[in-house]
Chain A
Amino acid sequence: MPEMERVSLEEVRRVAELGYLELSAEEETRMRRDLNAILDYVAQLSEPDTASVEPMAQVSEVLGMGDESTSILRDDVPGLCLDRDRVMASAPDTDSVFFKVPKVIER
């Protein structure tokens, strides 16, 4: 491994915590290796001069769509939504009205 590593083991753990991922020790080592390899490749992004370039989040802004004049939002009126019973049928744990989860707050 080269000495200059972009991502340390501690950073892998921190990012895993942010993403609610549980990694084994073996996975932590592998993910660190892979993230460093990918970020080394991604580093070439620093080359092009973008000082005067606006970020682009998605294509409709380039096409001039989605602004006030071409709004494609639905009218703000109530409509049918998915049937509760069919939605709740997929839930791992439910009383048929609410989703049930393990306790959130220690008492």
Chain B
Amino acid sequence: MTATVAAESISAIRNSIANGETTATAVAESTLARIAETDPRIHAFLSVDRDYALAQAARIDQSAVRRETLPPLAGVPIAIKDVLTLEGMPATAGSKILEGYRPPYTATAVRKLAEAGAVFPGKLNCDEFAMGSSNENSAYGPVHNPHALDRVPGGSSGGSAAAVAAGMVVATLGTDTGGSIRQPASFCGVVGVLPTYGRVSRYGLIAFASSLDRIGPFAATVRDAATVLGVIAGHDPMDATSSPLPVPDYTADLDKGIRGMRIGVPAEYFADGLDSEVRTAIEAGIEQLRAAGAEIRPISLPHTRYAIPTYYVIATAEASSNLARFDGVRYGLRAPQSDTLATMYRRTRDLGFGAEVKRRILLGTYVLSHGYYDAFYRKAQQVRRLLTEDFLAAFREVDAIVTPTAPTPAFRIGEKSDDPVAMYLADIYTVTASLAGICGVSVPCGKSREGLPIGMQILGKHFDEAIILRVGQALEQALRD
């Protein structure tokens, strides 16, 4: 294996290391070479640590030489979004305020990957504190979409999607608060999974909006994404919202097909604002699911139109509270030469935060402030319940719901960066599942005439990841044949 390592599946890499056809060191070397060759055009990585990756690979090779049973991700190159901590490695969250910070602990999801034998070549670019839909809010510069370098990769996990799409790594971890895994997966033509809230521990995730934040995998195929999800899922005493439900083998039933499965198509996701090429591609994908034996049912999710305003009130309110910790006292940036503590706080946050982060802190503080709390924050929490009940009612009638992941293919860098409302509408089909806590996956579903990827979003009820992955697998198979 040489420069094509990332085109291999997880099981192919693990097995060829186990049977001595290659070594984890060779895989890591070829991954690092591929990153060095490709990433100057993409800018998916914020940091690459060659020594760290090679040391991990060497430990796998020692196991392989001793003929030990290798763990499920042995030698598989996986990169991590820079909002997740890995002890001793940078964790900027795409922000200047955390430049140079080296966290003293490792996120649970990252630790589980390491224990499963994954090799970490580096940390991935993202919108600052995961706030954005295009990766243009990274303080370290944008990521370029591998399918068209003048286009955004989506956001906020733009680096995570682009690194897989460009074949630099086999899988990545991203995070999704309002669409930040699914939308970039759609824009970059890869698979991205939003696990049910509570399925994957958030310990070690630099918080944006804690009732919405989730960690999930990106990969080139549904099977590889399912494999990584199975590794990172499960209860963690370090996250009180993590679920004690057992984790099934997400790959076991992937090929069982979808004959007789009831799949809902919500009218509200095919209304005004949906790009005609995206509509055509998704409708063709739905026909493939019907041909594979699914029963397609029209459904309604009547409160969908209120999802974006609900999301931007709740997410910014939580962010304004979470980001209070960045004060220059315990870690990260501190503005020099401040006379008083209050001045130090303000100057540190002025130097450290970018425009979108400031905008969201201001909005979140406003909607929580005296006189506006009931009209905005309390109201949004009430509508959140209505949106959730829409889904709970729908899932009494159907097993899964399919929609476009995003209203358009990837837009141009700079196209929406001066219009926050237009940018927020890029998340119009993804924020609903975020608010309701249900699971979802974006699976490639054709391309536009210009060759830009289009993603189908498959939504399932809480803890029904196995079902949506099965639908995703059926779509992937149908489009491959």
Q: What residues make up the interface of A, taking CB atoms closer than 8 Å to B?
A: 7, 11-12, 15-16, 18-23, 27, 30-31, 34-35, 37-39, 41-48, 50, 53-60, 62-63, 65-66, 70, 72-74, 82-83, 86-87, 89-93, 99, 101-104, 106
Contacts and interface: CB of A to CB of B under 8 A. Distances in A.
* Interface hub of A22, A39, A44, A86 (most chain B Cβ within 10 A): A22
A60 B202 CA distance: 15
Contacts of A65: 198, 243
Q: DSSP class of A's interface residues: helix, strand, loop or mixed?
A: loop
Contacts of A18: 365, 369
Given A50-B382, A53-B385, A72-B242, A102 B338 contact: yes
Contacts of B411: none
B342 A20 contact: yes
Given A20-B345, A46-B379, A62 B421 contact: no
Interface string B241-280: 1111000000000000000000000000000000000000
Given A87-B104, A101-B341, A102-B341, A50 B421 contact: no
A90 B359 contact: no
Contact of B241 (A27, A39, A60): A60
Interface of B: 101-105, 197-198, 211, 235, 237, 240-244, 303, 305-306, 308-310, 312-313, 320, 324, 327-334, 338-347, 349-350, 353, 355, 358-359, 361-363, 365-366, 369, 375-376, 378-386, 388, 392, 420-421, 424, 436-437, 462
Contacts of B378: 55
Contact of B350 (A15, A21, A106): A21
B313 A101 contact: no
Q: Could you tell me the dominant secondary structure of chain B's interface residues?
A: helix
B309 A45 contact: yes
A54 B382 contact: yes
A42 B376 contact: yes
27 contacts: A21-B346, A21-B349, A22-B347, A35-B359, A37-B420, A41-B308, A42-B313, A42-B376, A44-B305, A44-B306, A44-B309, A45-B379, A47-B306, A48-B303, A55-B378, A56-B381, A59-B437, A66-B241, A72-B240, A87-B104, A90-B103, A90-B331, A92-B329, A101-B344, A102-B341, A102-B343, A106-B340
Nearest to B87: A86
Nearest to B102: A90
A23 B358 contact: yes
Contacts of A82: 104-105
Contacts of A93: 334
B349 A22 contact: yes
Q: Considering the complex of A and B, which 4 residue pairs feature the smallest CB-CB distances, nearest first?
A: A59-B437, A55-B381, A92-B334, A50-B382
Given A16-B362, A34-B359, A57-B211, A90 B104 contact: yes
Contacts of B420: 34, 37-38
Contacts of B365: 15, 18-19
Contacts of B243: 65, 72
Contacts of B462: 59, 63
